[in-house]
Structure 1
Amino acid sequence: MSENKTELKRSLGLIDATSLVAGSMIGSGIFIVTAAMARDIGSAAWLLIIWLVTGLITVAAALSYGELAGMMPKAGGQFVYIQRAYGRLISFLYGWTVFTVIQTGVIAAIAVTFANYSAIFFPVLDNTLFTFGDSFVFPNSKVLAIASIIVLTFINTKGVESGKLIQLILTSTKLIALFALIVFGLYVGFHTDVLSNNFANMWEASRTVLNTDGSITVSKLTGMALLGAAGATIINSLFSSDAWNNVTFIAGEIKEPKKNIPRSLFLGTLIVTVIYILANLAYLALLPMHGTPAAADISGNGIMFASNDRVGAAAAGMIMGNSSVFIMAALIMVSTFGCNSGLILSGGRLFYAMAKDGLFFKGAKILNKNQVPAKALWVQCAWACVLCVSGKFGDLLTYATFASLLFYILTIFGVFILRKREPNTERPYRAFGYPIVPALYIIVTTAICITLLIHDTLNTGLGLGIVALGIPVYYFLMHKK
């Protein structure tokens, strides 16, 4: 193959695409965020409803994206859809946000999570390598995090076959492990009264705050305060269910993309939604919803005060005892490593599409001898490693999650725009339930965004700020051209 070749080879089937959807979605979130959600909402019924709503709007979004994917089966996915509906500026702002924080920030965060759980097996990773001043601490685990990003990037430069094999193996492993946690969790839980106790007053919602002196403050939630709390905490489950759209980035390498991308979007999001709801039901069958941070055992901590928010590990501890610490650590290591493999593989294709349109580094559109955009992958790798070193990826992700939701809304509204503007364009797949399902997604997600603007104005404002920073960058690029 020539080093200057710029057209991708279609070699991924439906199973590969579905594996990428599910594998990119399942990272560390499902094992952690339920603890924070329990503190925010304090109700078993509302907790499950929030996860159900998250699943429904994710599947609804995937079904709507299927129409756009069938119309435009090209590498770059969502970037291409936004450009077709809104033009180059808006599509660049999406690509800019994905590069600066959404994709690279998630890669950095997941790599650090992988390294932190590796420290359970290798305690030396918790040691400090060096410090700078009073605030900057660089532990050994950061070296492993960066190394994992580099290794996965290198593997993905060797061809899409290498990347898809790792993705398929790791996704299958974590799905089987999660299924085992659910089955054994429900079996053990149904032989106790934990589940029935959690649902005894299942609609009584409350917010629990851990004070600096170790005491807790509990506030009852009703009416608009309850809806506000639910709308704010749903960001946790949405983050855990994100990255399903990454399969659209690699549309240029999927066989029969007009059929397989819509199918993989639906199948992948549906599988993960069912698993997430069942996993939370297993948590509720094993652990009390409420607890205290100073309790002497796992059960006393409850879901909301699970050690370091590791509710998955706490649930496993109720099944397997002390050995669960290592079992869950291994599971999360597999889960995060596989998740990053999918994110790295797909992210490079988005930047490849931007480069082909003149909106990214020129070299990113060139394929190597293995027919993959190696330069785009290495640029993504470099920035993700910078975010790992900076330690600011967590803040950036908080800012960007709001912006990510806005781009989902824009993209799905694009279905309406293109239906009107291009009524005769071939649509191998039409959005399920159009116009009701896409409209409901837009309405519900807009309501969530408004709630976040009200209850978390600082972070949502900073998210908009990251997007806005792309405007002068865009006009600078256009001026140079």
Structure 2
Amino acid sequence: MDDSSMRKKHETQNGSSLLTSSQSTEEQSGKATVLQKEVGLVSGISLIVGTMIGSGIFISPKAVLLYTGAVGPCLLVWAACGVLATVGALCYVELGTMITKSGGEYPYLMEAYGSIMAYLYSWTTAMVLKPSSFAIISLSFAEYASTPFYPGCSPPLVVTKCLAAAAILAIVLVNCLSVKLANYVQNVFTAAKLLIILVIVGAGIVLLAQGKTENLLNSFEGGTTTFGAIGLAFYNGLWAYDGWNQLNFITEELKDPYRNMPLSILIGIPLVSVCYVMVNVAYFTVITTTELLQSPAVAVTFGDRVLHPMSWIVPLFVVFSTFGSANGSCFTAGRLTYVAGREGHTVKILSCISLRHLTPSPALIFNGILAIFYIIPADINTLINYFSFAQWVFYGLTALALIVMRFTRKEQPRPVKVPIVLAFLMVVVSCYLVLAPIIDKPDLEYLYCTIFIFSGLLLYYPFVYHKVSWAQKFMSPITMHLQLLMEVVPPEKIK
């Protein structure tokens, strides 16, 4: 479509200039300009498994062991994190089948608490949580991809940062071009990561059968039981499990969500939980606790000791794993930003859809740009703690929203209804994970995070609530020209 034909579709809506999406069905090959339902059961499982199994299992074992102090508590934390992820996902199944809107926690917070809470979530998640997660995974990808080229030392930071930025650009491009292509990439890389998990677990079982159990004896000696340390151990373990709520970000693109959402979760999350515990057991068959804490890349160290001379397959498949996880993170992050823009909580351009590819390309590009900025600090542990603190605030509020709507939305159909005790458990655990590290070790990063969350109100009242006219007049020509440049339009309203 050329610029002149798009300009003919110009109209003024609420004081802002937007090009409309009122094309004929013939021009769009029979498809309306909305996100299409192209994610089935296999792709749903791949999205959950592929996003969860990424950098976490190759980074977090060191941090979980550091905060637990011994092998036994470490393995218990990994198992408990799997149970908690399953409980949280089941709560989200009820919410996702009751409110069939994309955007993750955003529509649930909107329904339960109103516009302000939903806005603070979208502000925090779109600006910090999702892009920082994308950046962390991409840095992990870059670290594993570059490590074989620098034997005996760590890769230079400039190399890992540039490689991570290149990965982000490639993933954003794939997701902007096609939903089907992004799903295909996700399925392929999920298969690759399950293969390397199977190799590591298989090698571990063989070693256990050969009697390599020295590191598993007296496994609870020296364990840490302090209030804050256990909380930080869960932070890092749950970082590896993060992704259990990914389907709720793309509910509008799920085929038969009432069937495929619960099935994907009940298959995907237990599979990941078993893999994680078994991988950690495999690590401890040949790596002592001291060696594991000193290893820059735990999976690579394991491969060097067990799979030589085929040890090169471990970093190769870990690269595949982290790339697939980053792809899943990008896929869902764009949907949150898109939905927030559609509700008027971000600038309108972020709610637009590509005319050619029917993808939320402005939202995807925006997330990618922020992720590149978050690469600059390159302090992965600080980013994980910062990410986890804010994320679990909203996980707890979302679980509470399920309880609230049992009373305020009694008449609303619930195709899937979970025991309310699960929601109460999620609220209690969320409060613990938010408060325990702060009480035990009150770092300034938690204060910065809290200030950032509430700083969104400085933008909410003038630009969202009051809709000041000068801001709309300023943004109108910018929005129109960006639409023309990217060939994007607002989504059609399907009646």
Normalised TM-score (structure 1): 0.85
1:369-380 pair list within 5 angstroms:
369-380=356-367
1:47-62 pair list within 5 angstroms:
47-62=74-89
Offset, 1:427: 0.7
1:87-126 pair list within 5 angstroms:
87-122=114-149
Paired letter, 1:370: H
Contact 1:60/1:437, CA 8 A, preserved across alignment = yes
For residue 455 of structure 1, the aligned residue among 440, 459, 462 is 440
For residue 221 of structure 2, the aligned residue among 204, 212, 223 is 204
Offset, 1:43: 2.1
Q: Corresponding residue for 1:212?
A: none
Offset, 1:453: 1.5
Alpha-carbon separation, structure 1, partners of 2:70 and 2:376: 38
Contact 1:387/1:393, CA 8 A, preserved across alignment = no
Q: Corresponding residue for 1:344?
A: 330
CA separation of 1:63 and 1:95: change in aligned 2, threshold 3 A: same
Q: Corresponding residue for 1:9?
A: 36
Alpha-carbon separation, structure 1, partners of 2:409 and 2:328: 33
Gapped runs of 5+ residues in structure 2?
7-19, 22-31, 469-495
For residue 20 of structure 1, the aligned residue among 33, 41, 47 is 47
SS of 1:425's equivalent in the other structure is coil
Deviations 1:421-459 (A, max 9, x none): 11111111112xx12222122222322322112123213
Contact 2:239/2:384, CA 8 A, preserved across alignment = no
Q: Corresponding residue for 2:200?
A: 181
Offset, 1:393: 6.8
Q: Corresponding residue for 1:466?
A: 452
CA separation of 1:104 and 1:333: change in aligned 2, threshold 3 A: same
Question: In angstroms, what is the RMSD of aligned CA positions?
Answer: 2.3
Structure 1 range deviating more: 264-273 or 51-60: 264-273
Confirm or deny that 1:446 pairs with 2:466. no
Contact 1:189/1:286, CA 8 A, preserved across alignment = no
Structure 1 range deviating more: 331-340 or 469-478: 469-478
Contact 1:6/1:366, CA 8 A, preserved across alignment = no
Contact 1:18/1:268, CA 8 A, preserved across alignment = yes
Contact 2:144/2:315, CA 8 A, preserved across alignment = yes
SS of 1:139's equivalent in the other structure is helix
SS of 2:147's equivalent in the other structure is coil
Contact 1:105/1:394, CA 8 A, preserved across alignment = no
Q: Corresponding residue for 1:163?
A: 182
CA separation of 1:400 and 1:383: change in aligned 2, threshold 3 A: same
Alpha-carbon separation, structure 2, partners of 1:199 and 1:341: 36
Alpha-carbon separation, structure 1, partners of 2:340 and 2:437: 30
Structure 1 range deviating more: 447-456 or 178-187: 447-456
1:348-359 pair list within 5 angstroms:
348-359=334-345
For residue 391 of structure 2, the aligned residue among 398, 404, 407 is 404
Alpha-carbon separation, structure 2, partners of 1:261 and 1:53: 23
Contact 1:399/1:460, CA 8 A, preserved across alignment = yes
1:307-456 pair list within 5 angstroms:
307-308=295-296, 310-321=297-308, 323-324=310-311, 326-368=312-354, 369-391=356-378, 395-431=382-418, 434-456=419-441
Structure 1 range deviating more: 359-368 or 52-61: 359-368
Q: Corresponding residue for 1:304?
A: 293
Alpha-carbon separation, structure 2, partners of 1:480 and 1:27: 41
Q: Corresponding residue for 1:149?
A: 168
Offset, 1:419: 0.9
SS of 1:480's equivalent in the other structure is coil
Deviations 1:62-114 (A, max 9, x none): 00100000011212131111111111111111111112221101111221221
Aligned length: 437
CA separation of 1:163 and 1:282: change in aligned 2, threshold 3 A: same
Offset, 1:126: 8.0
SS of 1:111's equivalent in the other structure is helix
Q: Corresponding residue for 1:230?
A: 230
Contact 1:101/1:393, CA 8 A, preserved across alignment = no
Structure 1 range deviating more: 333-342 or 256-265: 256-265
State the percentage of identical aligned residues.
28
Alpha-carbon separation, structure 1, partners of 2:423 and 2:243: 19
Alpha-carbon separation, structure 2, partners of 1:378 and 1:200: 50
Alpha-carbon separation, structure 2, partners of 1:410 and 1:333: 35
Offset, 1:313: 2.0
Offset, 1:473: 2.2
Deviations 1:163-217 (A, max 9, x none): 000000001110121012101122123313x42x3343222234xxxxxxxxxxx
Alpha-carbon separation, structure 2, partners of 1:404 and 1:429: 25
CA separation of 1:63 and 1:73: change in aligned 2, threshold 3 A: same
Q: Corresponding residue for 2:483?
A: none
Paired letter, 1:202: S
Alpha-carbon separation, structure 1, partners of 2:372 and 2:228: 36
Paired letter, 1:107: F
Confirm or deny that 1:81 pairs with 2:98. no
Gapped runs of 5+ residues in structure 1?
129-137, 207-220, 292-300
Deviations 1:251-287 (A, max 9, x none): 1111111222232233222211111111111122232
Alpha-carbon separation, structure 1, partners of 2:154 and 2:458: 41
Normalised TM-score (structure 2): 0.83
CA separation of 1:113 and 1:228: change in aligned 2, threshold 3 A: closer
Deviations 1:265-324 (A, max 9, x none): 3322221111111111112223233x3xxxxxxxxx2x333x22x222222223113642
Structure 1 range deviating more: 273-282 or 313-322: 313-322
Contact 2:229/2:437, CA 8 A, preserved across alignment = no
CA separation of 1:226 and 1:389: change in aligned 2, threshold 3 A: closer
SS of 1:428's equivalent in the other structure is coil
SS of 2:100's equivalent in the other structure is coil
Alpha-carbon separation, structure 1, partners of 2:429 and 2:381: 26
Alpha-carbon separation, structure 2, partners of 1:120 and 1:45: 30
Alpha-carbon separation, structure 1, partners of 2:349 and 2:51: 26
